[in-house]
Amino acid sequence: MTTGMSDHSADIAPADHPSHPAELARTAPTGQLPARFENPGLPTHIPRMADLDEKAARRAEKQVAALFGLSILGTLGFIASYYLVTEHGSVFVPGIGLMRAENLALGLCLAVSLLGIGLGAVHWAKTLMPDTEVVELRHPLRSSDEDRQALVTTLREEGRKSQLGRRPLLKYSMLGAMTLFPATLTWQLVGGLGRLPHNDLSTTEWNGRYLGGGKWQFVPKRLMRDPENTPIKASDVVIGSVFHVQPEGVLDMTEGKLEAKGKAAVLLMRLNPSDIRSTKELDWSHDGIVAYSKICTHVGCPVGLYEHQTHHLLCPCHQSTFDVTNDCHVIFGPANRPLPQLKITVDSEGYLISAQPFEEAVGPSFWERGS
């Protein structure tokens, strides 16, 4: 570093070098660029108050110590408020309102504690640590030819001594062991992804009863209110109303409930049948009551913003908008496919039931989906 500096010290000499812009302007004709810009060098070093006056330096020292002391107080305050401020107490803060006193005390003390250290360190560096400009030049990264040659010689020599070249059995068994070893890590990683999904993404609880091995047997299921878990009579659904629905049994599940809910969620709406423009939608509805998957076909958010006057169904995440009067086709936003409709009917007691499973996979696209 020192050698590097002295080598080029002539180039970076500061201060009184005649390369001041004013000088350059004098040497070059007006309106023309000079043939070569001179190195302006470093600006003149101006000493700080603390460099010149010992009193100022002592003052700076005290300021830094005070900041560090503040940090100590903050830390002690943090520990104190951990024990002293009650967990459920609240305090009124202007501009915020009522807030949890414990979090306020802990947060403020932590801020003082960390800021004290940070501000103290910066103030110390700015006032007391040396601030003379230092120039450090780059040096070539390449090693000397002798060093490079020595490395090659050593590798060759030691390789010969290890007898790897002479004993191929040793060489190949070692290579085999070392290439196989990473399998122990990757095996866990891949195995940890869980069992193969089979057709899980294409089936929901509306498919009926699970027989194992990705096979289902269709059984009609009642549409249940979420979260009340009560069946819905067709006569309960007035025009303009919306019900959030889960298939019968899902809300009673103890295992895999969230996954089942996440796929089977359905939105039930009642329209005036004359407002429905699609024959298929009308066929699959009951008296203007239509059921659609609540899972957005874009990235799977719950589509639940139903405007009962425009019959627009809106996804809160990316504003995909579906037209409920026309098979829930996308009329705005990033979703690409209509929401799948659930064909419904009523059972002998007048409760709404599913008439068949979803005809297509619900939710966003995936590799095996095919569309």
Partner 1 sequence: MNALAARRPRPATTVLLLILALVLGAAALVTFATRPASASSAASGDQIAQGKALFQASCASCHGINAQGTMTGSGTNVAGPALAGVGAAAVDFQVGTGRMPMAAPSIQAPRSKVQFSQEQIYAMAAYIASLAPGPAIPTAAQVDFAKGNAAVGGEIFRVNCAMCHNFAGSGGALTRGKYAPSLAGSTPTHIYEAMLTGPQSMPIFSDSDISVVGKRDVIAYLKAISKEPTQGGSRLGSLGPVSEGLFAWVFGLGLMVAAAVWLGKKAA
Query: Comparing C-alpha atoms, which of 296, 299, 268, 298 is closest to residue 284?
Result: 268
Out of 238, 255, 348, 367, which residue is the one contacting partner 1 (CB under 8 A)?
238
DSSP run (H or E) holding 290? strand 289-293
Count interface residues toward partner 1 (CB under 8 A): 49
- Residue 329 is classified by DSSP as E
Nearer to partner 1, 53 or 200 (CB): 53
In the complex, the smallest distance separating the C-beta of residue 137 from partner 1, rounded to whole angstroms, is 23
Under the binding rule (CB under 8 A), the answer on residue 321 touching partner 1 is yes
Main-chain phi, psi angles of 307, to 5 degrees: -90, 110
Nearer to partner 1, 7 or 307 (CB): 307
Cβ atoms of 297 and 333 within 8 Å: the answer is no
Instruction: Give the whole-angstrom CA distance, residue 38 versus residue 227.
Output: 78
Q: The tokens of 270 are what?
A: 């009642």
Out of 24, 85, 242, 253, which residue is the one contacting partner 1 (CB under 8 A)?
242
In the complex, the smallest distance separating the C-beta of residue 29 from partner 1, rounded to whole angstroms, is 37
Instruction: Give the whole-angstrom CA distance, residue 162 versus residue 160.
Output: 5
Helix orientation angle between 101-127 and 54-84, rounded to the nearest 10 degrees: 160
Nearer to partner 1, 111 or 151 (CB): 111
Query: Comparing C-alpha atoms, which of 200, 207, 203, 210 is closest to residue 221?
Result: 207
Nearer to partner 1, 235 or 272 (CB): 235
Stretch that binds partner 1, among 135-143, 165-173, 272-280, 305-313 (CB under 8 A): 305-313
Under the binding rule (CB under 8 A), the answer on residue 205 touching partner 1 is no
Under the binding rule (CB under 8 A), the answer on residue 243 touching partner 1 is yes
In the complex, the smallest distance separating the C-beta of residue 243 from partner 1, rounded to whole angstroms, is 6
Residue 8 makes CB contacts below 8 A (sequence gap 6+) with 137
Out of 17, 20, 48, 329, which residue is the one contacting partner 1 (CB under 8 A)?
48
Nearer to partner 1, 19 or 319 (CB): 319
Task: Report CA torsion sign: 16, 21, 27, 33.
Answer: positive
Neighbours of 344 (CB within 10 A): 23
In the complex, the smallest distance separating the C-beta of residue 109 from partner 1, rounded to whole angstroms, is 14
Under the binding rule (CB under 8 A), the answer on residue 236 touching partner 1 is yes
Under the binding rule (CB under 8 A), the answer on residue 226 touching partner 1 is yes
Under the binding rule (CB under 8 A), the answer on residue 356 touching partner 1 is no
β-sheet bridge partners, residue 306: 313
Rounded to an integer, what is the distance from CA 120 to the centroid of its chain? 34
Under the binding rule (CB under 8 A), the answer on residue 329 touching partner 1 is no
Residues 53-92: x/- map of binding to partner 1 (CB under 8 A)? -------------------------------------x--
Cα–Cα distances in angstroms (integers) from residue 31 to residues 17, 18, 39, 239, 327, in the given order: 24, 20, 20, 82, 73
Residues forming the site for partner 1 (CB under 8 A): 46, 48-50, 90, 93, 95-100, 103-104, 107, 122, 126-127, 131, 225-228, 233, 235-244, 269, 302, 304-310, 312, 314, 316, 319, 321, 332
